Amino acid sequence: MNNLETIIAGIFQFDVKTGNIDANLASVVDGIHRLSEKGTQVTVLPELWPCGFDKPGMLIEHAKRTPQIIERLSTLAKKHRMIIAGSLPEKSGNHLYNTMVVVDKDGAVAGQYRKVHLFSFIDEDKAFAAGNQAVVCDTSYGPIGLMICYDLRFPELCRSLALAGARIVIVSAQWPETRIDHWNTLLQARAIENQIFIVASNRVGQDGNLAFNGHSQIISPDGVILTRIINHASEETVPINLKEIDAIRNRFDCIKERKPDAYKI
């Protein structure tokens, strides 16, 4: 594990073309190249960035290319000395998962997280099986917790990541414009209540009747929005100093001062 205190974190949002893996991969390769030129060390991509929320049968077909895509990410990560994370469809046995994969800067897979909370409102639970385990992966830049979209509405998950030592929590999403105020509020709340950095990537564009307007952002442990991209395809970076977490917790520590016996949940 690297003991660097300051990390250049990056977010990349783009219009995910449903079912068009080649076009989406080309967009990501271009975006990672531009982020690399800015010195980015950790990059977060949107949810299901290779294919979007395609029809269930097509998602199974798309998942066949996921190992190949991860190999491409591994090559990019190693070339640019950059951690790259985002969610992809994963086929395992008879199940299909919405899985976030984190590729470390040496090209090795540092961790995988199968989305626990599936959004039944859009029948996500009919296309995917739910994961059953929170994940904090050990990376070259320290422990990073993983979340995907709807997970944001479940504060227990993010708290569990902080308790497990995550200093940064990354979020991949396809969060629609109609509820973007919720996205903004929940991201900020997760950062503040856990005194951690949040690095979150959302998509832009149109998918059927749903519009997406991004608001990918990086948030400090005291809730300051360090950078945010609104309604256009783009990428942004910002340096984050992990010592800020200790400075804030030295004043008052929301993790240390919990009273779990009183909550009974």
* Strands 197-202, 168-173: pairing kind: parallel
Report the residue count for the chain.
265
Task: State the sign of the Cα–Cα–Cα–Cα dihedral 138, 144, 149, 152.
Answer: positive
Provide φ and ψ at 118, rounded to 5°.
-95, 140
Query: What DSSP state is assigned to residue 116?
Result: S
219-243 tens-digit pLDDT: 999 999 999 999 999 999 999 999 9
Q: Which residue has the tokens 């830049």?
A: 141
User: Structure tokens of 36?
Assistant: 């690399």
The one catalytic residue among 51, 105, 137, 149? 149
Task: Indicate whether 3 pLDDT > 60.
Answer: no
Of the pLDDT bands very low, low, confident and very high (cuts 50, 70, 90), residue 264 is: confident
Residue pLDDT, tens place only, 59-87: 999 999 999 999 999 999 999 999 999 99
d(CA 228, CA 252) in angstroms, rounded, equals 27
Domain regions of the chain by residue span: 7-250
pLDDT in tens, 178-216: 999 999 999 999 999 999 999 999 999 999 999 999 999
For 141, counting Cβ atoms within 10 Å of its Cβ (0-12 exposed, 13-18 middle, 19+ buried), the class is buried
Mean pLDDT of 161-178: 98
At 235 the pLDDT is: 98
Q: Is 2's pLDDT higher than 50?
A: no
- Do 85 and 44 meet the contact criterion of CB atoms below 8 Å apart? yes
- Tell whether the model's pLDDT for residue 255 goes beyond 70: yes
Q: Respond yes or no: is residue 243 known to be catalytic.
A: no
Question: Looking at residue 1, what is its pLDDT?
Answer: 42
CA dist., res. 68 & res. 89, Å (int)? 12
Calculated CA dihedral for residues 226, 229, 89, 38, nearest 10 degrees: -70
| Of 79, 44, 83, 5, the residue nearest 244 (C-alpha) | 5
Which architecture, in CATH terms, is 7-250?
A: 4-Layer Sandwich (3.60)
- The angle subtended at Cα 134 by Cα 137 and Cα 21, nearest 5°, is 75
pTM, to two decimals:
0.97
Is 115 annotated in the active site? yes
- Which is the catalytic residue, given 51, 90, 105, 115? 115
> Catalytic annotation on 126?
no
Q: What is the mean pLDDT of residues 101-122?
A: 97
Structure tokens, 130: 């739910």
Strand partners, 225: 219
Helix then strand then coil, % of the chain, to nearest 5: 35, 30, 35
Look over the chain and give the mean of its residue pLDDT values, rounded to a whole number: 96
* E strand map for 37-167: 42-44, 83-92, 95-103, 109-114, 136-139, 142-148
Q: Which two tokens stand for residue 170?
A: 């990354």
Q: What is the DSSP letter of 250?
A: H
Please give the share of the chain, as a percent, with pLDDT higher than 90.
Answer: 97
Whole-angstrom distance, CA of residue 221 vs CA of residue 74: 30
